[in-house]
Structure 1
């Protein structure tokens, strides 16, 4: 999908009691361009899923689904054993997203199960990974080994800027 813009940047969002959170400005404009509403009004759709390997969420625009399916199909075929069977967990892990609307300010309601699974409480750290956006509980992120130093430093920076102790 050559016409999709890529997600770069990060930021911190306050999550209210209902799970409502705003996508940071650095990522919001890209999402709005990648997932415009059919009626031309502000807002659109974001798909939120449990990350297959990390203790976080992954979010993306609906246009990315075709790319994701192609990747999962390729990985599934590569898993084919000598008995002809494939690993069904490849698609189970990658296909757990839930589409939710976001408004013109980038606010959306984080689905309950993914939020619970990732341990996201009152704050969510967003980080662009080109094709998608990762959403982390800040404390979990800084305690997770082997993440890029710049990502951890950005999370610490945004939390410090908002007066949030980790």
Structure 2
């Protein structure tokens, strides 16, 4: 898998829903996903702790296998490798076009309460994708992300109305 030009996910971006219920993977994240995914495949999953989604490229798969091996070494016989592999590798592979347009699977929209806009927050080996309303409920640790999101929303005239399939 292509990893030579991938240096991680950083920054913030915003995407209101567009025509045909499609969102746009912003260029900052689109280019990083392409570099980490051998093309135009966005991996999406529900975040394990937060009410949002995670996004990453296919190059993360060897890291997930290594994580499972470490966990199995740590927990030994009490470790359920099959269940853990299902949890980590149950992500959706979502294609996007040259402009970054993609259709969010309905079940993921529902799991993360996604409405009519997305906020993207870089996180190194992955990034988070938020319904702005959900992000605003987060604590002070998320102050910078919340401020960036509010700025993007004000500039795009999207007020996080919560309309859409996730509400």
Question: Do both proteins adopt the same fold according to a TM-score greater than 0.5, normalized to the shorter chain?
Answer: yes
- Secondary structure of 1:148's counterpart equals helix
Which has more helix, going by share of residues? 2
Q: In the alignment, which residue of structure 2 is the partner of 1:30?
A: 32
The alpha carbon displacement at 1:91 in A equals 3.7
Of residues 98-107 and 22-31 in structure 1, the stretch that sits farther from structure 2 once superposed is 22-31
Decide whether the 8 Å contact of 1:48 with 1:111 is kept in 2: no
Decide whether the 8 Å contact of 2:43 with 2:56 is kept in 1: yes
The alpha carbon displacement at 1:54 in A equals 0.9
How many equivalent residue pairs? 157
- TM-score by structure 2 length? 0.82
> Of the candidates 134, 137, 141, which is equivalent to residue 143 of structure 1?
137
- TM-score by structure 1 length? 0.83
4+ residue runs of structure 1 moved beyond 3 angstroms? 16-19, 87-93
Decide whether the 8 Å contact of 2:71 with 2:79 is kept in 1: no
Q: Tell me the C-alpha RMSD between the 2 structures.
A: 2.2
Of residues 128-137 and 87-96 in structure 1, the stretch that sits farther from structure 2 once superposed is 87-96
Are 1:124 and 2:126 an aligned pair?
A: no
Residues 25-60 of structure 1: CA deviation (Å, up to 9, x unaligned): 2212222222243xxxxxx11111111111110111
For 2:90 and 2:141, how far apart are their aligned partners in 1? 23
- Secondary structure of 1:144's counterpart equals coil
- Secondary structure of 2:102's counterpart equals strand
Are 1:86 and 2:82 an aligned pair?
A: no
Unmatched segments (≥5 aa) in structure 2: 161-167
Decide whether the 8 Å contact of 1:79 with 1:87 is kept in 2: no
Q: In the alignment, which residue of structure 2 is the partner of 1:72?
A: 68
Decide whether the 8 Å contact of 2:37 with 2:58 is kept in 1: yes
Are 1:99 and 2:93 an aligned pair?
A: yes
Decide whether the 8 Å contact of 1:76 with 1:91 is kept in 2: no
Q: In the alignment, which residue of structure 1 is the partner of 2:164?
A: none
Unmatched segments (≥5 aa) in structure 1: 38-43
The alpha carbon displacement at 1:5 in A equals 2.4
Q: In the alignment, which residue of structure 1 is the partner of 2:58?
A: 62
